[in-house]
Structure 1
Amino acid sequence: MATSSPPAARTPVLAVHGLAKSVGGARQLFAGLELSVAPGETVAIMGESGAGKSTLLNLLAGLDVADAGEVRVAGLALTGLDEAKRTALRRDRIGFVFQAFHVLPHLTLGQNVALPLLLKGAAPKEGLARAATLLAAVGLEGRAGDYPAVLSGGEMQRVAIARALVHAPMLLLADEPTGNLDPQIADKVLALLLGQARAQGAALVMVTHSARAAAQTDRVLQLAADGLHPVVLHHASD
């Protein structure tokens, strides 16, 4: 069983103990998985195709249920929460960046980014003002009134990052956030993601196949059947 922990002086935002998950009722993806991530810390998870990287992110977000073990976010055990409370936890404390962006085409960029705040009950004016601030932070100042149809892939991912951060989540989860982008744009988008996560003090867990992307995080872990193992990357190439 592999254990990977940040410096002991920092209380973790994310704490995972003995996590196990199987698929199809038979094939075990992993077991005995341990992970601890501190505020402001960025962690990349790599692994072979089919190892269960995206499944692990879903478990960390409370979108799926483990066979065994425990996931705690901000001290709250997800296994002890019903679906409504898990939904509320995701809404209030977790941000998710998807590879496929999931930007809503019928909403303006400002409305897309403000959506997590509006779901929390924020006034529209307050939500749109905060959205404009986050759009500026990711290099899209003055674009709040635009629609997604006019954006490039890199700009779409910037909107997705702004939306994930707008409600100041404690935990940020990213599934192949640069997988659809060319290397030059990917570097810029990743720098924005990591920089904003650190600036907000959010714990970031990023699944990626790219050694180049992983090398820019504080820690790199390899997902295997017996858990997570530290990886040392000697260069930043794919």
Structure 2
Amino acid sequence: MTSPPALTVHQLAKSVPGGRRLFHNLDLTVAPGEIVAIMGESGIGKSTLLNLVAGLDSADAGTISIAGQALDDRQDDARTIIRRDHVGFVFQAFHILPHLTLAQNIALPLVLARADTAASLARAITMLANVGLPGRGGDYPAQLSGGELQRIAIARALIHDPALILADEPTGNLDPETAERILSLLTTQVRASSAGLVLVTHSDCAAAIADRVLVLGPTGLTPR
């Protein structure tokens, strides 16, 4: 049986307080294993679009489905479950919890889903090796460089086999050489997991990993 798209967005519209319209009639489909980069001017609504897709904000109109699961008209608890089960996040600021070990940070999505703790930590150890940090499970975030912290964020985003990864400027705080390594790692891990990836970026280098590059404007997304 054919898998549903990782993401389907249809006729999405969003305005900000004061009535300024960010975009309308926005359509986007991301296939499993596909990488889509979204670019555009600052303030155009790229991060807002990610928040809408993640169910953290509500659109004025339109529909959003993740792995065939519709977000529209769902209560907050139901959106949270879809987000927990089907979405992984990679942020510019990493958002790694300093009081948890690296293994505990990576295992967090599984623990929040009430998976067995021992099995979750064992899976986290495997993910550490996958992102090039074997044997570091007992270390703490303060012991890592920025590039290493982003590796932890990638491992955490993928540990629960989500259908969709959302990445908001994931290399914005990294030097060019480290950013290139992180982008290569992200590409490899996403392809291996068959997750769809939506990457918001200002960087041409980051956008170069994408299968498609789209530019966000008031009328929606257009190919670059």
TM-score bracket for this pair, using the shorter chain length: over 0.9
- Structure 1 partner of 2:63: 70
C-alpha distance in structure 1 between counterparts of 2:82 and 2:69, whole Å:
9
Question: Residues of 2 paired with 1:63 and 1:20: CA distance?
Answer: 15
Tell me how far 1:123 sits from its aligned partner.
1.2
Q: CA deviation at 1:80?
A: 2.7
Residue in structure 2 matched with residue 30 of structure 1 by the alignment: 23
The alignment's C-alpha RMSD in Å is: 1.0
Q: Counterpart of 2:62 in 1: which secondary structure?
A: strand
**Equivalent residue for 1:92, pick from 63, 85, 88:** 85
Evaluate the alpha carbon distance shift between residue 11 and residue 87 of structure 1 in structure 2; reply closer, same or farther with a 3 A threshold: closer
Spell out, residue by residue over 1:150-207, the C-alpha distance to the aligned partner (whole angstroms, 9 max, x if none): 1100001110110000001001100000000000000111111111011000010010
* Deviation, structure 1 residue 27: 0.8
> 1:106: how far off?
0.1
TM-score (norm 2): 0.97
CA contact (8 A) 2:69 2:82 kept: no
Partner residue of 2:159 out of 162, 166, 179:
166
Q: Distance in 2 between matches of 1:10 and 1:86?
A: 21
Residue identity in the other structure for 2:123: R
The equivalent of 1:43 in structure 2 is 36
Aligned amino acid, residue 182 of structure 2: V
Q: What TM-score, normalized by structure 1, do the two folds share?
A: 0.92
Query: Residue 216 in 1 paired to residue 184 in 2?
Result: no
Pairwise CA distance, 1:43: 0.4
Q: For the residues of structure 2 that align with 1:220 and 1:181, how far apart are their CA atoms?
A: 21
Match of 2:94 in 1: 101
Amino acid at match of 1:197: V
Cα deviation for residue 11 of structure 1 reads 3.9
Residue equivalent to 2:9: 16
Task: Report whether the alignment pairs 1:183 with 2:176.
Answer: yes
* Runs (5+) with no aligned partner, structure 2: none
Q: 1:196 aligns with which of 183, 189, 196?
A: 189
Partner of 1:132: 125
What displacement does 1:23 show? 0.7
Aligned length: 223
Secondary structure (helix, strand or coil) at the match of 1:51 reads: coil
Task: List alignment gaps of at least 5 residues for structure 1.
Answer: 1-8, 232-238
State which drifts further: 165-174 or 73-82. 73-82
* C-alpha separation in 2, matches of 1:38 and 1:125: 33
Provide the C-alpha distance between the structure 2 equivalents of 1:76 and 1:151, rounded to a whole number of angstroms: 37
Q: Secondary structure at the residue paired with 1:194?
A: helix
SS at match of 2:32: coil
- The 3-state SS of whatever aligns with 2:22 is strand
1:151 and 2:144 equivalent?
Answer: yes
Q: Which amino acid aligns with 1:85?
A: A
Moved over 3 A (4+): none
Distance 1:197 1:212 in 2: 17
CA contact (8 A) 2:4 2:68 kept: no
Residue of structure 1 aligned with 2:53, choices 39, 55, 60: 60
SS of residue matched to 1:184: helix
